Amino acid sequence: MESLDLNQMSLREINQFLHKELPHRDIQRLEILNPEGAHHIAVGLDCPVDVQIRGHAGYYTAGMNQKASVTVHGNVGWGVAENMMSGMVRVKGFASEAAGASGHGGLLVIEGDASLRCGISMKGIDIVVGGSIGNFSGFMAQAGRMVVCGDAGDGLGDSLYEAVIYVRGQIKSLGADAREEPMGNEDIVAVADLLAQAGFDYDPRDFKRVASARQLYNWNVDADQEY
C-alpha cells in the first residue's frame, strides 16, 4: 500500500499526486497519514482507487469524488462527499454539516451521526447514516435516497422533489411539502440493499418512508404565498 504522510508532504502536494500521478500508476490502494483535520483532502479523485484516511479530516473531504472508494477513520467537517458523482465514501465517525450536499451519484456512508442539512440538494446520491441526522436534512433533495438508522431533526425533507428519505427512529418534524407514506415492497428491497452495502444489520421494515407531497412542483398564483 502506498503511504502519503501530511507530516512530510503538503496538502497541495498530496492532492497533486492524486490528480496527476495516481491515474497513470498501478496503485490500487493508498493511505493518507496524519490528516489532523486538514481541509479538502482527496478532493476530485477520478480513478478507481481505495483511499484510507487515517484520522480526522476537515471540510469537503472527498468532494467531487468519481470512481474512488474513500474511507475516513475518524470524523469529518462540513461538506464531506459534496457533489460526489460516483464511487463510495465512508466515514467511520461523525460528520458535520451538509454531508453529501448536491451529490449526483455514488454512496456515502456515515457510521455515526450527521449534523445539520445532511443531503441537501441531493441529485442522485445515496446516503446511509448509522446514527441520527440534524435539522433541515434533505432540504430541496431532488433525486436519490437517504437511509437514517437513528432519529431525524426538525424540517426533514423541506421542499423535497423526487428524493426519498427512510428513517428508522423518531422524526422531530417534517418540512414543507414532505409527508410520511406507507412503505411498499420496493421500498423494503431498496432499504435492505442500501443497509447491506453500508454494513448495517437493521430490519428494513422498521423504517418510515418520507417523500414529497408534490404541492410545490408548480407555482400557484392563487395560493397567495400560503403553502
Give the separation between CA 27 and CA 171, rounded to whole angstroms: 44
When pLDDT is averaged across residues 92-118 and rounded to a whole number, the result is 98
* Residue 227 in domain: no
The per-residue pLDDT for 125 is 98
pLDDT in the model for residue 110? 98
Residues 7-18 have pLDDT tens digits of: 999 999 999 999
Q: How far apart are the C-alpha atoms of 127 and 145, rounded to whole Å?
A: 6
Residue 23 CA to residue 46 CA, distance in Å, equals 8
69 falls within a domain: yes
Domain range enclosing 201: 2-217
For residue 95, what pLDDT is reported?
Answer: 98
Phi and psi at residue 22, to the nearest 5°:
-55, -45
The total number of structural domains in the chain stands at 1
Q: Grid coordinates representing 168?
A: 428508522
190 belongs to a structural domain:
yes
Look at residues 130, 88, 129 and name the one whose alpha carbon lies nearest to residue 105: 88
Determine the 3-state secondary structure of 43 from DSSP: coil
CATH number of the domain residue 190 falls in: 2.160.20.60
pLDDT, position 1: 87
Query: Which among 78, 105, 98, 102 has a CA at the least distance from the CA of 89?
Result: 105
Whether the pLDDT of residue 227 is over 60: the answer is no
Asked if residue 171 is part of any domain, the answer here is yes
Query: Is the predicted pLDDT of residue 223 greater than 90, yes or no?
Result: no
- Is residue 166 in a domain? yes
Q: What angle do CA 156, 137, 190 make, to 5 degrees?
A: 85
**pLDDT at residue number 224:** 62
Mean pLDDT of the chain: 95
3-state secondary structure of 200: coil
Distance (Å, whole) CA 33 – CA 191? 34
In the prediction, which pLDDT does 171 show?
Answer: 98
DSSP letter for each residue of 113-151: -B-TTTTTT-EEEEEEESS-B-TTTTTT--EEEEEESS-
Residue 223 lies in a domain: no
* pLDDT recorded at residue 216: 78
Q: What is the arithmetic mean of pLDDT over 211-225? A: 75
Neighbour-count burial for 64-97, b at 16+ CB within 10 Å, e otherwise: bbbebbbbbbbbbbbbbbbbbbbbbbbbbbbbbb
Q: Give a yes or no: residue 38 inside a domain.
A: yes
DSSP bridge partners of 57: 76
pLDDT tens by residue, 126-184: 999 999 999 999 999 999 999 999 999 999 999 999 999 999 999 999 999 999 999 99
Q: What is the pLDDT of residue 217?
A: 72
pLDDT of res. 221: 66
Alpha carbon distance 144, 163 (integer Å): 5
Q: Is residue 224 part of a domain?
A: no
